[in-house]
Structure 1
Amino acid sequence: MSRFLLSQEDALFVPAEQLGGKAENLAWLTRNGLPVPRWWVLTTEAFSSLITSNALDELVRQELDGLGTQADISEVQPRAERIQQAILAASLPQALRTELQQTFSEHAQVQFAVRSSVLGEDAQGASFAGQMDSYLYQRGLAAIEQSVLQVAASAFNARALMYRLAKKLPLTDIRAAVIIQQMIDGDASGVLFTAHPLTGSRQHMLISAAWGCGEGVVAGICNADAFSVAHSGSQISAELADKDVAVVFDHAGGLGTVECEVPEAKRHSACLTDSQVLALRDLGLAIATLKGCPQDIEWTLAQGRLHILQTRPVTALPAPQQPVGRRVVFDNSNIQESYCGVTTPLTFSFANRAYATVYEQTMRVLGVSEAAIQSHRDMLDNMLGLIHGRVYYNINNWYRGLQFLPAFKTNKADMERMMGLTDPVDLIEDRELTGREKLAKLPQVLRAAWHLLQGFRQMDRRVSEFRALFEAAYQSVPRTQLQSLSVGELVELARRLDREVLARWTTPIVNDFYVMMMNGRVHRALSEAGVEQPELVQNNLLSGEEGIESTEPTKWLLSMCAEVRGKPALAELLQNHDNATLLGRIQVHDAAFYARCLEYIERYGDRTMGELKLESITLRQDPSFLFAVLKNYLSRPDLTLETLAANEARFRQEAEATAFAAVSKQSGKRGLKRLKKHLAALRAAIRNRENMRLARTRLFGLYRDIFLEIGAQFALDGELENARDIFYLSLDELYAINDGRAVQTRLKPLVRARQAEYADYQAHDLPHHFHTWGMVYRHNAFAYPHAENVSLEGDLRGTGCYPGIVENRVRLIFSPEDELSLNGQILCTVRTDPGWAPLFPTAGGILVERGSTLSHSAVVARELGIPAIVGIPGVTQRLQDGQWVRMDGSTGNIELLDAPNTTPTAKPDTEAAHV
């Protein structure tokens, strides 16, 4: 074997370090029997010998030293030129010249292509496409020797060096081999991509073809035909170019190429026949299959025979234009009330596990077999999604869960109404089952129906038992002594709550089914009776319900406000001091009222904006929000428990008169009796739901305190920067650290990386509804598919939840840090949860971008008698803080006003003013 020059046979098993990228690929093609023109390679050792024998090592080192990734072309160009000039002036080592002479003297009349083969060239992450020079149609020893020097020099041209800098490849060890390959005088040539570089499809190829040799296509000199063809089948999509120029052998000069005009007859005709396209497709597919990844292949066609000149991995593909894979629908119209905005990893992982645990137990309650539960493990583990830090329902899996229940089509519509799904979803249809399928499904449907019916009948007892179970577990946690427990004991305490409470959370879920079904029945009864605006009438029928815990914090605060009004010194204290210092001042000046503040915090201190987000700061950590609300109430002398109670039942009575009359007329006494029964059941179910939600809030408060204490101890030991960094770990990671199965124990860099990522998420909002295909986090834009239906011009419209016309300024509020003073202005926000309730009584009206008629905003607004509209697309983008609007809680219309026409008004549809 020669030292510097290897034949293709000798090169087949030589290490890549001697061959460079292109020659290594040629060896692979040859070894696998692909039609490759005969070739030789001057190894990287020959290149090194050229540099050292001409004493160019130091020059190269000095010129490249100090070039960093920020260097621009003006700095690189002169250095590159000096190196190239030195190489072109050099002499080939005598041993190398001897080997060239011995091999190519007998091929004096054969034409060759001389190309670079740099280490790292044509690799997976760096193609170096077009960065080095090639010399075609070279004939004779002198031409080959000169081409070798030119190719070696091109390894240091400015393009190649800038490419290396951009790819962060080293400049200190540039080594090049040189390929000498028999030149094929192609009739047509081009490039084949086995994955489509324009559409991103991995099931389609793109072939670019032009007349003459491939240099015309690779260098972009020639217009090229484009053939798109699938990996299977025979359909071809061709876009023929005006091929006015071809790159061909320079017959006059005897060496190299020249551009020539294409005869008119060939300019608009295809370079390849259909059979040639398919043959090239099959050849490319064979190469890609053997390589195991998409390939960028250079080819030429001469005298009807295809030749492969080179193959390299495709280094980049765009996202597929056509969706690929399973479609998943994500929607957060409902769950955004609980998990608003960007949510930390600990909160999401905790919530996701809680959903899986709770619904697994619920399936057992419904009589689902263990085998069926385990076969639906993927459904249970993916009830939620986290997209750019925001929590969504995975609607596909919610529909899958519904299929365990009878009457899927009805339940599907009821669930969509309860969840506020306003966008079309057609993933699962209530298709007509075959007799065999119905028979197979019947036992499970009957079991679920029986268990649901039993659960509904025993709901009051089950709710009472559930609340007692929760209270016992809650009281068993030493909340004020958590700092005395070790981290391991704290983790075990959290796991005990997992077992004793979360794993027994089935009653709230069964009650949610009850709400869903009863709400659907009432809605259908009103619609069938021809009631005008059935949604509005149904909303009003649900107002004024006694004993709902969602409104208890507000009533408690109104009672505290009445006490303050009777104590002028206390009122002055509240009005004249900063909220952050008030609790300490009250402790000194009014011990009795201080005790009431502490009692409120103990009862409702976990009920705050974003209360189910573990990272939210509650009244237990900062009581400022409590005093901001009290000040709001004190600014409204008309706001009392008495006025609140007087207002709650008014629209309910009017709605009952309307609904009962319509249903009685349509369906008679029996229909009316059925409606009243379903309405009473719905009211009770909503009351139970809201009351059990307070238990959920308090449970999350316990977990929050446990996790914060773990974070505090980690911070004390230097494992985290501060206690709140704990929220950037997932629950599984936290438990794994405890159990000894953590895959990463250096937490500070992990937390910093996540904090940076989640800070980026804060800057960009996402739509409430979108579809994904295939892998969720890859090639999906998370774009709202019905964007044309959302207008950012003209008046706004949503779903009216409580009647009344209000004309006033808008107050945009998104967090407790915003200005919370309302004093009759219209509260406008993206979403709410129960923690927002204390703000509502001082609002003249409520506008919420997200939500449904059964969302928290609607429920509490009805209870407090405040005109409200929910589900208003883009409202927080359209309206500005302080802008005047007129809202109609009956119709859901919002009119933008240039200036106030009258004194601010707040007028329900009857004469009596709302609170």
Structure 2
Amino acid sequence: MIIYPVKNVPGYTIGGKAKGLLKLLEAQVTVPDFLVLPAENFDPIVKAKDATTVSILDQLLRFTLSKPEEEKLRQILSGWDFPNRSIIVRSSIADEDGTHDAFAGIMSSYMNLRNYEDVIEAVGKCAASAYSAEAVAYRQYKQLSAVARPAVILQQQIDADASGVVFSTYPQYPQEMAVHAVWGLGEGLVNGELDPDEFYLSKKDGTVVHQKIALKDKLYQMHDEKGIQLLDVEEDKQQIHSLTEEHLHEIFTISTRLEKRNGHPQDIEYVISRNKLYFVQSRHITQEIPDVIVYDNSNIQESYCGVTTPLTFSFAQHAYATVYFQTIILLAIPEQVITTYTPVVNNLLGLVQGRIYYNINNWYRCLQLFPSFKQNKEDMERMMGLEEPVDFITDTEKSFTEKLSMIFPTFFNLLRLFSAFRKLEKSVAEFHSHITKHYERFYKLPGAFANPVQLLEEKNLLDKELMGNWTTPIINDLYVMMMNGKVRRKLLKAGILDTDEFLSRYLAGNQEIESAQPAILMQKLSLKAMEQEALKALIILLPDDVHTQIKAQFPAFYKEVEGFIHVYGDRTVGELKLETITMRLSPKIFYSYLRNYLTTSNSFQTSALSHLHESAVKDLEEKLKEHSVFFKKTVYKSLGKLQKSIQYREALRLERTRLFGMYRTLYLAAGELLKEKKVLAEARDIFYLTQDEIEILLLDKPGFEIAGVITERIATFEQYKKEEVAAQVTIPPLRSTKPEPVDEDPSVLRGTGCVPGQITAEIIVIDGPDSDLDVSGKIVCALRTDPGWVALFPTCKGVLIEKGSALSHSVILLREFGIPAIINIPGLTKKLSSGQQISMDGSTGEIKLL
């Protein structure tokens, strides 16, 4: 059976590599013409009863086609101008080039064939390579079936001016695409023999972020009579780029499309001939590629400024997840979708060197649940204060059928949402009443909890009744986000370009904003204190027992202060960090704030900001003169809605502050209980435990050993306070633009890290097949490697290669096996000897002689 033109034929197996070529054709990429001898041609041999590896090899090497098939093959090859033009015979095993098993470089290919008998012989050899020692070793290591089903590809061979390999996502730096190239055929690149030019392109826009131009003094080239020859490169081409900017742009564009189309990063091989780009392979990259996670704290630092504690992070992470799940349920998202998104919602926050950050990727993923991803993404970025938006997560492409099926669910979700928006005024009032009821009840409880069970029951009650009923603030936050985006777009249409500056003026001076009330009330209290010189003097003196003294000497004023603290006692700098000492815990903090009002001539008046609002109104009136009456009304109406929703938001945030204050009180009580049980040295050590750990310790459950944990965490988080961290952190980190450090220490070598992992072990230098090959538990050092080393790799601990490409077949295998590897280490095999002990870091590329 010969399949030509190639297509998926039911009942026939064309193999992994042929499927890859077929996908290239379907993507309208230029591919040299090819045909396939499917695996069914070879099944009688490989599936024969009592067949052994030896018998299979022998019969595959003697494989021939039937007379009709032979005639058909000759006709196809004649149409390719064979034998005037060479062909290449390539493997395409049924399980080759799969998602997890690449067989990179293990199977045989035969190039520059111009004789029919040589072609048939190559077909047999190619099929037989499925049972070579290297292939068998690979199958055993990967725990694959011992029965390999080879298919074979015959393809027009292109006279290559340059060839190369693309990793559409580079495992070492997943934000980049790696493009390597050599002059002539790619044989020397993939077997690690020739040093390639290396180009690393930003996946965002294709710009070159890093490049390394090799000395290319050799190339492989086809010769009509002598076959493939290793030749000298002309001197003027040895140090120039093997790829033009146009080539790189075309490679980037097509490779990006292929990755998106296949839904997975691609390992691609290409050839350039007479300035035309051909793709000759596309398969999944099999080694694990870490997700690029972007953490950003532009906005959340307002709530969690600086280094926090493990308890605050675990609590905040749980709170965000609880609230977001309520949003999803509110919009009637199907249960199976909610299950899929559980890991995403549980990780909306991240802890970076002790600081709380948004996990931006997961916020974007959650937005995919809602209609209008692009618009919502822009609105969310503005609300979060993202200075550098992230483009790793995009809207999922949906088929027409999928879009059609979403019309009614989306319509009803929007109806639910808009219905909730319309009821906000009533909902907000009911929410305040609900919170106040539990708030008053909570602070009438005894000052200490009798036992851990009682304390946890109270916590569970807060979880269920308050945090578990946070729908109203969610709806209002969504409304603020959407109205803010809507107003911004209307203002831009009106001609106001700096919308943020305009809104800051327009919304200024609103005395009804709840967040302004503590300052307004405190100012009133300061005016009362000024009427009594002794009281004023005591507050300015600020003794530690100032609150006790005021209770004794000024009971009426004390009562007003108690009333203020009862309402606003948790509203303190760092109020959402559970470890923060608030006015409720230390009334002296209140008096330190009040003292500022008594010692300054400046008075706080929100009404003094009304001129900003008035100036914004005048600017808006001027801009709207040229617009219709209808447009003017919609602008003012939208501004009014935004102003009201912001007013609601500030009032609802006070309820959040109160809720966190109740949890703070509970956890401090838990600290006292654990101190009494001699589990903690100090009650405030509770903040260096997570929520789950606290419950385990309170209930004496097994599973957590606390010995040494608190001391270690305190030291770690104190160290974090000394470290600077950027507002946006990418993991894995972006490629450093700093020059490589120059080591004068002869015991330190550096190369290019290819497979992460830190290893300390004895090294063994291998310079050929006659070397000692006892690599078990050792770090292999070599000038170069090729896929023939596959049998050695699984038992070694790491691999160091003096010269090579990060995209060579052997490095691909090392990544697939997860064996730490470093390449391009100058003078490696001359500086190191077998038996020496070294440490290696496959991430940084650093090697230390011990």
Q: TM-score, normalised by structure 2?
A: 0.53
Change (3 A) 1:230 1:552: farther
Cα distance in 2, alignment partners of residues 403 and 200 from structure 1? 28
Give, in whole Å, the separation in 2 of the partners of 1:416 and 1:671: 26
Matched residues in 2 for 1:639 and 1:323: separation?
Answer: 61
Q: 2:411 corresponds to which residue?
A: 446
Q: Is the 8 A contact 2:477 2:649 kept in 1?
A: yes
Rounded to whole Å, the distance in 2 between the matches of 1:449 and 1:360 is: 17
Q: Does the aligned pair in 1 maintain the 2:511–2:606 contact within 8 Å?
A: no
Q: After TM superposition, give the deviation of residue 464 of structure 1 in Å.
A: 1.1
Aligned to 2:159: none
Report the Cα distance in structure 2 between the residues aligned to 1:482 and 1:553, rounded to whole angstroms. Answer: 26
Structure 1 residue 238: Cα displacement: 3.3
Distance 1:784 1:593, change over 3 A: farther
Q: What SS class does the counterpart of residue 771 from structure 1 fall into? A: strand
Q: Report the alpha carbon displacement of residue 695 of structure 1 after superposing the two structures with TM.
A: 0.5
The equivalent of 1:709 in structure 2 is 669
Q: Write the mapping of 1:364-513 to structure 2, written as runs, cut at 5 A.
A: 364-430=329-395, 433-478=398-443, 481-513=446-478
The structural deviation recorded for 1:237 is 6.3
Residue 670 of structure 1 pairs with residue 630 of structure 2: yes
Match of 1:762 among 708, 718, 721: 721
- Kindly indicate whether residue 327 of structure 2 is the aligned counterpart of residue 362 of structure 1: yes
Which of 659, 668, 692 is the equivalent residue of 2:620?
A: 659
SS in 1 for 2:390: coil
Alignment deviations for residues 263-306 of structure 1 (CA, whole Å, 9 cap, x no partner): xxxxx999xxx9999xxxxxxxxxxxxxxxxxxxxxxxxxxxxx
Q: Deviations over 1:548-585 (max 9, x none)?
A: 1111110111000110111122112222x235332122
1:895-914 aligned at under 5 Å gives the runs none
Q: Does 1:570 align with 2:529?
A: no
SS at match of 1:671: helix
231 and 465 in structure 1: CA distance in 2 versus 1, 3 angstrom threshold: farther
Q: In 1, Cα distance between the equivalents of 2:445 and 2:634? A: 50
Name the CA shift for 1:664/1:376 in 2 (closer, same or farther; >3 Å): farther
Match 1:589 to one of 521, 529, 553:
553
Paired residues of 1:349 and 1:731 also in contact (CA < 8 A)? yes
SS, match of residue 405 in structure 1: coil
Distance, in Å, in 2 between the alignment partners of 1:782 and 1:421 is 22
2:564 pairs with 593, 600, 619, which one? 600
Match of 2:711 among 744, 752, 755: 752
1:783, distance to aligned residue in structure 2 (A): 8.8
Alignment of structure 1 residues 860-871 onto 2, 5 Å: none
The question of whether the paired residues in 1 share the 8 Å contact of 2:368 and 2:396 is answered with no
Alignment partners' CA distance in 2, 1:528 and 1:200: 45
3-state SS in 2 of match to 1:764: coil
Q: In structure 2, how many angstroms separate the alpha carbons of the residues matched to 1:611 and 1:360?
A: 24
Report deviation, 1:624. Answer: 2.6
Structure 1 residues 431 and 491, CA gap change in structure 2 (3 angstroms): closer
Q: 1:592-624: CA deviations, max 9, x gaps?
A: 111122222111111111100100111122223
Q: How does 1:853-864 map to 2 (within 5 A)?
A: none
- 1:664 Cα offset (Å): 4.3
| Counterpart residue number, 1:238 | 194
Cα distance, 1:417 vs structure 2: 0.7
Offset at residue 328 of structure 1 (A): 1.6
Provide the secondary structure at the position in 1 that maps to 2:356: strand
- Aligned-residue offset at 1:535: 2.1
* Separation in 2, partners of 1:432, 1:721: 56
Q: Does 2:470 correspond to 1:534?
A: no
Cα distance in 2, alignment partners of residues 674 and 759 from structure 1: 53
Alpha-carbon separation, structure 2, partners of 1:675 and 1:604? 35
Shift of residue 532, structure 1, vs aligned partner: 4.9
Secondary structure, counterpart of 2:194 in structure 1: strand
Once residues 315 and 656 of structure 2 are traced to their aligned partners in structure 1, the CA distance between those partners, rounded to angstroms, is 13
In structure 1, what residue type is equivalent to 2:636?
K
* 1:636 is the counterpart of 2:600: yes
- Deviation, 1:646, is 3.3
CA 1:607–1:748 in structure 2 vs 1: closer, same or farther (change >3 Å)? farther
Q: CA deviation at 1:422?
A: 1.2
Contact 2:292–2:731 (CA under 8 A) maintained in structure 1: yes
Instruction: Indicate the percent of aligned positions where both proteins have the same amino acid.
Output: 36
Is this contact kept in 1: 2:194–2:218, CA < 8 A?
Answer: no
Give the letter for the 2:714 counterpart: Q
| SS of equivalent to 2:333 | coil
For these two proteins, the number of residue pairs brought into alignment is: 482
What letter corresponds to residue 349 of structure 2 in structure 1?
L
The one-letter code of the counterpart of 1:538 is L
CA separation of 1:410/1:587 partners in 2, compared to 1, >3 Å: closer, same or farther? same
Which one of the candidate residues 648, 651, 654 is aligned to 1:694?
A: 654
Counterpart mapping for 1:876-895 below 5 A: none
Contact 1:331 1:395 in 2 (8 A): yes
Query: C-alpha distance in 1, partners of 2:324/2:595?
Result: 42
Aligned to 1:251: none
Letter in 1 for 2:192: I
Deviations 1:850-894 (A, max 9, x none): xxxxxxxxxxxxxxxxxxxxxxxxxxxxxxxxxxxxxxxxxxxxx
Q: Is the 8 A contact 1:522 1:538 kept in 2?
A: no
Checking the alignment, whether the CA contact within 8 Å between 1:414 and 1:517 is kept in structure 2 is yes
Counterpart-to-counterpart distance in 2, 1:783 and 1:396: 22
Return the match for 2:695 from 727, 731, 735: 735
Q: Take 2:545 and 2:699, find their aligned partners in 1: how far apart are those partners?
A: 42
CA deviation profile, 1:645-674 (whole Å, cap 9, x unmatched): 4313221122112113313423x1111111
Specify the SS of the correspondent of 1:325.
coil
Q: What runs of 5+ residues in structure 1 fail to find an aligned partner? A: 1-198, 203-228, 241-267, 278-321, 774-779, 786-915
Q: Does 1:771 align with 2:727?
A: no
CA contact (8 A) 1:347 1:614 kept: yes
Distance 1:784 1:688, change over 3 A: farther
Is the 2:381–2:389 Cα contact (8 Å) retained in structure 1?
no
Secondary structure in structure 2 of the residue aligned to 1:385: strand
Asked if 2 retains the 8 angstrom alpha-carbon contact of 1:487 and 1:713, the reply is yes
Partners in 1 of 2:357 and 2:664 — Cα distance?
A: 21
Counterpart of 2:725 in structure 1: which amino acid? L
**What residue number does 1:622 align with?**
586
1:742 is displaced (CA, Å) by 4.1
Alpha-carbon displacement from aligned partner over 1:227-278 (angstroms, at most 9, x marks no partner): xx999992636359xxxxxxxxxxxxxxxxxxxxxxxxxxx999xxx9999x
Secondary structure of the structure 2 residue equivalent to 1:557: helix
Name the CA distance, whole Å, in 1 between partners of 2:575 and 2:440.
20
CA distance in structure 2 between the partners assigned to 1:232 and 1:664 by the alignment: 71
Q: CA deviation at 1:477?
A: 1.9
Question: Is 1:344–2:305 an aligned residue pair?
Answer: no
Counterpart-to-counterpart distance in 2, 1:408 and 1:378? 20
Relative to structure 1, is the Cα distance of residues 596 and 447 closer, same or farther in structure 2, using a 3 angstrom cutoff? same
Kindly provide the amino acid, as one letter, of the partner of residue 660 in structure 2: F
C-alpha deviation, 1:346, in angstroms:
0.8
Asked whether the equivalents of residues 295 and 350 of structure 2 are also in contact (C-alpha less than 8 Å), the reply is yes
Aligned pair in 2 of structure 1 residues 620, 781: CA closer, same or farther (>3 Å)? farther
Q: Secondary structure, in 3 states, of the residue corresponding to 2:415?
A: helix
Unpaired segments of 5 or more residues in structure 2? 1-170, 175-184, 197-216, 220-226, 231-286, 739-850
Q: Is the 8 A contact 1:719 1:748 kept in 2?
A: no
What is the CA–CA distance in structure 2 between the aligned matches of 1:424 and 1:638, rounded to whole Å? 40
- The structure, 1 or 2, with the larger RCO (C-alpha pairs under 8 Å, 6+ apart) is 2
For the residue of structure 2 that corresponds to 1:376, the secondary structure is helix
Conserved? CA contact 2:431–2:472, under 8 Å:
yes
Is residue 509–residue 607 contact of structure 2 (8 Å, CA) maintained in 1? no
Matched AA of 1:370: E
